[in-house]
Amino acid sequence: MSDGDKLCDQVKVVAEDNAKVLNTTSKDVKESSIQAESSQKVEGKPLPKLTPAEFKAYNRLAVVMDQYHNHFRATWTEIITGLRHSRPKNQSLRQFLSIAQGFCRMLDGHHNIEESYFFPILAKKMPAFQKNNKEHGEMIAHHRQIHKGLEKFEDYVNACKSGEKDFVASDMLELMESFEKVLWQHLDEEVQQLGAENMRKYWTLEELKMIPM
């Protein structure tokens, strides 16, 4: 089984788990005295230093998310390197385009799962994940910007693989570079949002246990 297939299976498991607990989790979080500021934060005073065990618990979601993101980073790098320089000698054009197709499908599926199951939970306390927050909502905004480029990129890849268009490396590269900056920004900043020092501002350890991933 390829790494892409393994990740796909992992994503499906996450989606199924999230679907089962979403209603319970959302209800519990909503009833847990949600405030704009964390219940742990003492106004005007720094938060106490986390123990190693607390840091690990608070950082759990960031670690898991970064594992997914590292797969996207690696696949993106493989594709764009093949366009800027050259593909491996033993890799056919069809194989190369299949990798690009897989990247598009996996990224689209990953974002759909996030927005259906994961972001609604985080959005109850975290402005960066709120869909209708005009001042924040950065993670949602990133998705929209990424998908403007991703859809055009996927259309081109599909057309080349079907023979509808002739493959031109410079054309495909231009499409990738159109959303490269925001994609990599998002891959980094979403993990930062889920990092221990940020998560502790909004969630208690008990609440975090109810957030599935």
Q: Rg of the chain's alpha carbons, rounded to an integer?
A: 20
Instruction: Specify the pTM.
Output: 0.80
Mean pLDDT of 55-66: 97
| Average pLDDT of the residues in 1-23 | 49
Place of tokens 């742990």: 40
d(C-alpha 153, C-alpha 83), whole Å = 13
**Averaged pLDDT score across all residues of the chain:** 85
At residue 47, the 3 state secondary structure works out as coil
Kindly state the tokens that stand for 131. 């869909």
Nearest to 147 by CA among 178, 188, 101: 178
Let me know if residue 39 belongs to a domain: no
5 assigned to some structural domain: no
As a whole-number percent, the residues of the chain with pLDDT over 70 amount to: 79
Lowest mean pLDDT among 85-89, 171-175, 186-190, 198-202: 85-89
Report d(CA 141, CA 186) in Å as an integer. Answer: 10
d(CA 187, CA 190): 6
148: domain range? 50-209
Total domains present in the chain: 1
Give 27's pLDDT tier (boundaries 50, 70, 90). Answer: very low
